[in-house]
Every structure is written in structure tokens, then in C-alpha cells.
Amino acid sequence: MLKIEKELWDKGYNYIACIDEVGRGCLAGSVVACAVIMPKDLLIDEVNDSKKLTAKKREELYEKIKESAIAVGIGELDSLKVDEYNIKNATKLAMVQAIENLKDKKGNKIIPDYIVTDAEKLNISIPQSNIVHGDANCHGIAAASIIAKVTRDRQMEELHKLYPEYKFDKNKGYGTKEHIEAILLYGPTEIHRKTFLKKILDKNEQLSFI
């Protein structure tokens, strides 16, 4: 999984920031991106696309990645911003935020000399590569996906305490049957993405007249 990074290291790039996001398809909550710069030639066993790992394994790897990384940055756009900009643009903005927020363990800002994203091309002056299925093919992107996923999951578990009816601790804001039923029963909260709910709410309104 280090093939992509090795090619860039061989070209003389040292601070390679790998970026991924989570929460793109959720009905509620923020879209969260992570940028991570890993040490040269470090391969952490079992690091993979976060979707292919159990929650327990992600938590374990989260700690290992945070401990090993040269720098980590988080970017986030909340549900209001997702509605304002649309999810694709919000995702890209969160990724740029994550790059701008890259800091080492002492809190020093780190500027990467190259970035690698999971498919998305970013409006940024730093040279970049956009890798399709990057989280499955690039160690750094997979590491970023794990940090982003654990960060967002923890947020949703905290939001569950405020909105227990929606079971955010289980669905993490995704459109499960139970989550949709809760929206139809209780209505959307302030953290729901209104643009994502239009079809659900319109369909329910139509059904109410049948």
C-alpha cells in the first residue's frame, strides 16, 4: 500500500499529505475530512479503508496512526454548510480545511509539499494526485479515512445524547430504516441536512393524502 507514496518520495517529496473524508452520504451531521502526513516508509499493519474495519479495530488503529503521524489535520463542515454549498463542494472545502489545519504533535503548523486525495481534485496551489479508490490503494489515504471516521463517529455518539430518538450512536447519521422512521415521527433536528431530506419528507407528505 506504500507504492503511491514511494513514487513520490523517490521524486523528492517529503511531506506528503493524504486526505480522505467521511459522512458524505449521511442525512445528519457534518462531513469530516482528515489530512495526515506519515513518516517515510512506515507501514502500519491492518491499516485499510475504514469501511472494511470493525469499530474496535478502527479505534486501535486511530491511536497508532495519531502516535506515528508527523502531522494530522481535521476539516469539517456542518449540516448547514452542506445544505448551503452542496455535499460535493462541502467535501472539498472540508478537505482543504484539513490540509490548512495540519499540525505536528507540538502544535506547529506543517505545510505539505504534495497532497494525495481519494479521487477529489482540490482548488489548492500544492501539487496533487487524485486516486480513485484511494482508501483501498494508498496507505496514507486509508490512515486518513480511519482518523476521519473515528472522529466523526465520536461526534455522532455525543449528538446521540442530545437526540436519543434518532439512534445516532448506532446509525451515525446514515439513512437507516430506523433513522428515517424517527425523522418521519419526530421531524428533522437542527443537525439534519434539509436538502437530503426533501425526497423523504415529500414522499411522506404525498402518502398522507392517499
User: No. of H helices and E strands in the chain?
Assistant: 9, 5
Average pLDDT over residues 132-137: 90
Give the tens place of pLDDT for each residue, 39-95.
999 999 999 989 999 999 999 999 999 999 999 999 999 999 999 999 999 999 999
CA 141, 147, 153, 159 dihedral sign is negative
d(CA 148, CA 153): 9
pTM above 0.85?
Answer: yes
Residue 20 is predicted with a pLDDT of 97
Percentage of residues in the chain having pLDDT higher than 90? 91
Indicate if the pLDDT at residue 210 is higher than 50.
Answer: no
Burial class (CB in 10 A: 0-12, 13-18, 19+), 133: exposed
Residue 209 is predicted with a pLDDT of 29
